Chains A and B, each alone.
Chain A
Amino acid sequence: MSSTPTRETARRAFAVEFNDMGYTFKESEEEMAPNYALMPTGERANRVFLVGTLTETEDVGDDAEYWRGRVVDPTGTFFVYAGQYQPDPAAVLRDVEPPEYVAVVGKPGTYETDDGTVNVSVRPESISVVDAATRDRWVAETAERTIERVRAFNEEGNEYAAMAREEYGDNVDRYRREVISALESLDDTEPEPEPEPEPSA
């Protein structure tokens, strides 16, 4: 009941769901009202947190630098774009040598291509280099959050699920199946090999 503006929660979604969340909306007419992307499993996202493997970076800008990073999770690829207004994340994309595990905090953004498809990307607030254990923890956490949303999808009064059903349809089972294979992929992961001992001189 307090009117203190609260910070938006960073939602967890696998790439396969994130890239489907092309519908955006505002909750009020006010100029500064936050933008939300609608998640197909029935939640609104103003901010996301993701951890994956940065596989490729490229400066796709014309005049000014505009960096694109591909961040891969067990289900697909997140596209992360950082330019002059995101100087710290842009510097990370410029400096890091892929592949590397990265954690990204950012805002979902959409743009429409010439052929009318809506692409969803991440405008980062921060990008940082993390490790394999953190990435695995994120996969487990994101699986749990996704399953929670799928379970609540048919609950009465779930406002964003109703909205999602209208915008995207009600096939949330594909996200459930992706969760299962993502978790199974964790179990397959061999422990990281010990570094080769330095040859003694």
Chain B
Amino acid sequence: MASDLRTHAEEIHEQFSDHVDVEVDDVHERLESLVEDYRVPVDEARRSVTNHYLDESDLEREEMAAGAGNEHVEAAEIDEPEQWVDLTAKVVELWEARSDAVAQVGLLGDETGTVKFTAWAKSDPPTLEEGAVYELGNLVTDEYEGRFSVKINSTSTVREVDREMEVGDDSVEIEGALVAVQSGSGLIKRCPEEDCTRVLDNGRCSEHGDVEGEFDLRIKGVVDDGHEVHEVILDREATEELTDTSLAEAKDMAMDALDTEVVAEEMKADVLGWYYRVRGPTFRRYVLAETIERLDGPVDTESTLVKARSI
């Protein structure tokens, strides 16, 4: 722990030694105080101390970053906010910007996966074309609810390159027991308004008010392996396959029972407590199940036995 802090201190010191008159010990002391006296996580402490010296040195963040030489990253590697990176990627999709402050927003992708990007209007960025591949320099990473994105800022460089790029999927594969089926599962109704697929709550859409909903099937479940908890969403197709119940059958069940809840109850009895392997892309904190299979084959216990005997 102590030596880790020392390493962090030395790195921060190196970053600033040309600009500020400061000793490694001072940096270390600041870090130590935050981490040990104030119980601040190391990452946060490091950010805070860096910011302190940034203020002190009157350095623009941009200058720092430009001088440092960025790491050229791949989309799937981006797992830390506030990093300065270079990325070569294809514009997979452009989305509608919801705010005037945003010039462009969309999805970039390379062989390893995809990442959201935002270009701020005030930095007057060049316009990106869907389907084109760009070398993007000096982007800043950001994080929101566990999803990482990159921002094109006023110092960023954008250069179109003439090449093809296959965009990989960033699917994850998880295994574990299905320990909960959450509310909003089973036979649900969605808002029929164009481009709105919100799930209705008592016949109401949070955007469009009372509407005549359209039936759909889905399962929001929790897969837990004893270490980690993953929330998974099964769309109609995955739900139909898993529960062997079609949307039409589910509607019939609900009609017979005069209650849509009966569908979720039935599904719970079928799926709770079994082990599954789920594959699909992640969205916010969810894994969107593209495939889900029940694990009912034999299990290998040899490696656990070896470990148990060797303690």
Give A residues with C-beta under 8 Å from B.
Answer: 1-2, 4, 6-12, 47, 49, 51, 88, 102-105, 125-131, 133-134, 136-138, 140-145, 147, 150-151, 176, 179-180, 183-184, 186-187
Beyond known contacts A126-B272, A140-B304: 4 more, CB 8 A cutoff? A1-B43, A10-B177, A49-B177, A103-B177
Give Cα A65 to B304, complex, Å.
Answer: 42
Find out whether the CB atom of A151 lies under 8 angstroms from the CB atom of B307.
Answer: yes
Query: Are A49 and B145 also in contact (CB < 8 A) when A128-B268, A151-B307 are?
Result: no
Query: Are A9 and B227 also in contact (CB < 8 A) when A133-B297, A144-B304, A147-B307 are?
Result: yes
Find out whether the CB atom of B268 lies under 8 angstroms from the CB atom of A187.
Answer: no
Give Cα A7 to B296, complex, Å.
Answer: 26
- Which residues from B are CB-within-8-Å of A4? 145, 285
Find out whether the CB atom of B273 lies under 8 angstroms from the CB atom of A128.
Answer: yes
Find out whether the CB atom of A150 lies under 8 angstroms from the CB atom of B311.
Answer: yes
Find out whether the CB atom of A51 lies under 8 angstroms from the CB atom of B273.
Answer: yes
Give Cα A144 to B145, complex, Å.
Answer: 31
Find out whether the CB atom of B229 lies under 8 angstroms from the CB atom of A143.
Answer: no
Of chain B, the residue at the smallest CB distance from A181 is B308
Q: How many contacting A-B pairs (Cβ < 8 A)?
A: 112
Give Cα A144 to B226, complex, Å.
Answer: 10
Q: List 9 A-B contacts (CB under 8 A).
A: A2-B145, A4-B145, A7-B222, A9-B229, A10-B179, A103-B272, A103-B274, A142-B226, A179-B308
CB distance from A125 to the nearest CB of B (A): 7
CB distance from A46 to the nearest CB of B (A): 12
Contacting A at CB under 8 A, from B214-250, are: 222, 224-229, 231
Find out whether the CB atom of A128 lies under 8 angstroms from the CB atom of B272.
Answer: yes
- Which residues from B are CB-within-8-Å of A131? 296
Give Cα A133 to B44, complex, Å.
Answer: 45
Find out whether the CB atom of B311 lies under 8 angstroms from the CB atom of A10.
Answer: no
Q: Is B97 an interface residue (CB 8 A)?
A: no
Contacting A at CB under 8 A, from B64-113, are: none
* CB < 8 Å neighbour of B225 from A47, A141, A183: A141
Contacting A at CB under 8 A, from B154-182, are: 177, 179-180
Give Cα A142 to B145, complex, Å.
Answer: 31
Find out whether the CB atom of A180 lies under 8 angstroms from the CB atom of B299.
Answer: no
Give Cα A184 to B177, complex, Å.
Answer: 23
Find out whether the CB atom of A11 lies under 8 angstroms from the CB atom of B222.
Answer: no
- Which residues from A are CB-within-8-Å of B275? 134, 137-138
* CB < 8 Å neighbour of A125 from B43, B177, B180, B300: B180
* CB < 8 Å neighbour of A102 from B146, B228, B273, B301: B273
CB distance from A190 to the nearest CB of B (A): 13
CB distance from B283 to the nearest CB of A (A): 15
Of chain A, the residue at the smallest CB distance from B265 is A88
- Which residues from A are CB-within-8-Å of B308? 143, 147, 150, 176, 179-180, 183
Q: Is B258 an interface residue (CB 8 A)?
A: no
Query: Are A140 and B299 also in contact (CB < 8 A) when A7-B222, A103-B274 are?
Result: yes
Best-surrounded residue of B224, B226, B274 (most CB of chain A within 10 A): B226
